Structure 1
Amino acid sequence: MMSEFKTSQAEGLIPNFVNTYELEERAQKVIPADAFGYIASGAGDEFTLRENDRSFNHKLIIPHVLADVENPSTETVVDGDTITAPIILAPVAAHKLANEAGEIASAQGVHNFKTIYTTRSYASADLPEITTALAGSPEWFQFYFSKDNEINKRIIDRVKALGIKKSF
C-alpha cells in the first residue's frame, strides 16, 4: 500500500541558532523524515559531501583579539550587496520537499534573513513569483544550457527582464 506524502507547512523565524548544524537539527524536527533524508544527504557514496565538510573545517578563522568585541557583526558585502552573514542560498532542488510553498517560502526566508537567493533554471515555482517573493533582495540565477538555443535565449531574456544581476 502506498502512503500519501505530506510536506511541512512550518513557517516562521528560528530564533537563536548558533551554527548551521543546529539549524539542520531544527529543520529535521519539522520536515518529514524521507524528505529530510533526501535534502540532508549527498549523491552516491556522499564523497563530495564529506570533502566539502573536510575542506570547510580545514579553514581556520583567526579572530583579531580585542578588536571591536562589544558589537560584533557577521555582516559582509558580496558583489556590492550587504548581507547579514556570509550565507547565501545555493541553487538547490526540491524546495517543496521541505515546505509546500517551495521556492516562494525559501525566497521569503532569504528576504527576511537579508542575504542572497540563487534561483535554479528548473525551479518548481515560476521565476517572476520567486523574484516577487524576494521583495528586492539580491537574486542570482543558475543557468543550465539547453541543446535548444531558442530555449536558452528565452530563459536569459526572462532573467534580464526581471533584473537578476548574476547568472552563472
Structure 2
Amino acid sequence: MNRKAFQHRQIAPKALSDIEKPELDTKVFGIDLKTPVMMAPAAAQGLSHSKGETDTAKGIAAVGGLMAQSTYSSTSIADTAAAAPDAPQFFQLYMSKDWDFNEYLLDEAKKANVKAIILTVDGYRESDIINNFAFPLPMANLASYSDGDGKGKGIAEIYASAAQKIGPDDVRRIKEYSGLPVIVKGVQTPEDAIRAITAGAEGIYVSNHGGRQLNGGPASFDVLEVVAKAVNGRVPIIFDSGIRRGSDVFKALASGADLVAFARPVLYGLALGGAEGVQSVFEHIDNELEIIMQLAGAKTIADVKKTNLLNIKY
C-alpha cells in the first residue's frame, strides 16, 4: 500500500532546465544537512549487524545526514551518539507507563546531546504478536535501566509496558522536562497535526509505521499533502513509509515534507557492509535524487518543494 501510493502522483519532466549539479543541502530544525534523507528510528539493529546502531550512525555521519535512534535500540543512547560525535541525532521515545523510565531516557538523550525527541504515538505490531516474536538480543536502554537486559522480551510484553494513553499533555510534559523540541510521529490527519502543534510540538512526523498499525488505514503518502496544508509551514514535517527510490524522496518533498526518512534499505546495507554499507545506501538514494532533480528542473531542495506534481493514478 505505501509503495503503491507513490504511483498516485507523477513528476513532470522539464527540458532545457540548465542544471548540471543539483544541490541536496538543506536546513531543518536549525540543523545544516548535506541531504534531505534521514534514518528513521528502527529498533534492534543488532539483528542486522554486530555493531548495530553505532555503525549506522557512522555511515549516516559520513554523508552528512541525520540519524534517529530508537528506545529499543541494540546499543545505548550514549554509545550510539559517541559513534558519530559531530553528527546530529534525534532520539525516538516509545513512552512507557513508567514515567521514571521516561525521565531516565530523556536524561540520557540530553547527556548525549541529541537535538530533538521523536514521540511515537503508535506502536502496535499485530503480526509480531501473532508470531510470538521475541528479541533475541539485549536492548541496551532497558538493560541499563533495570536488572534485566531486554533479551527474550516479546512484542506483547513490550506493548503491555508501553503507554497507550497518550495525549497533548504528554507532549507538553516531555517538552518541559527535556527542554528539547518534540516531534510527534504517527500523524495521519490534519486534525492530529494541528492538535500536536497546539500542544507544543515543534515538528510533525507523517508515518503509518510501515503500514503495520491500523488495519484499513491510508498510505502515508496519500495523506501527506493534506497534512502539510494544515501545518502550513508552522513546523517542519518529516515523512516516512515506503521510501525506496530517489523519485519517492522527490515526491515526498514536493508534497510537503521537509525531511524524508527510511529504514529498511538502510538495514539491508548495514547487514551487508556495516557502516560502509549504510553509507552506500544513502549515497545511492542521494544520487538517484540528484538525477530526478536534474530531469525535473529543480536545482535545490527548495526548488523541489515548489514543484507541482501531476495527479495521475495508474
1:130, CA displacement in angstroms? 0.5
What are the equivalent positions in structure 2 for 1:10-159 lying under 5 Å apart?
51-62=1-12, 65-67=15-17, 69-159=19-109
Structure with the larger RCO, 1 or 2 (CA within 8 Å, 6+ apart): 2
Aligned length: 118
% of aligned pairs identical?
Answer: 31
| Structure 1 runs (4+) greater than 6 angstroms displaced | none
Q: Partners of 1:122 and 1:57 in 2: how far apart?
A: 33
- Give the TM-score of the pair, scaled to structure 2: 0.35
Letter in 1 for 2:77: L
1:62, CA displacement in angstroms? 4.2
Equivalent pair of 1:111/1:135 in contact (CA under 8 Å) = no
1:67, CA displacement in angstroms? 4.1
> Judging changes above 3 Å, is the alpha-carbon distance between structure 1 residues 65 and 166 closer, same or farther for their aligned structure 2 residues?
farther
Q: Partners of 1:160 and 1:83 in 2: how far apart?
A: 21
> Judging changes above 3 Å, is the alpha-carbon distance between structure 1 residues 138 and 72 closer, same or farther for their aligned structure 2 residues?
same
- Give the TM-score of the pair, scaled to structure 1: 0.62
Equivalent pair of 2:43/2:71 in contact (CA under 8 Å) = no
> Judging changes above 3 Å, is the alpha-carbon distance between structure 1 residues 89 and 135 closer, same or farther for their aligned structure 2 residues?
same
SS of the aligned residue for 2:100 comes to helix
Return 5+ residue gaps in structure 1 as ranges: 1-50
1:129, CA displacement in angstroms? 0.8
1:64, CA displacement in angstroms? 5.6
SS of the aligned residue for 1:115 comes to coil
What are the equivalent positions in structure 2 for 1:155-166 lying under 5 Å apart?
155-166=105-116
> Judging changes above 3 Å, is the alpha-carbon distance between structure 1 residues 118 and 83 closer, same or farther for their aligned structure 2 residues?
same
Letter in 1 for 2:87: S
C-alpha RMSD of matched pairs (Å): 1.9
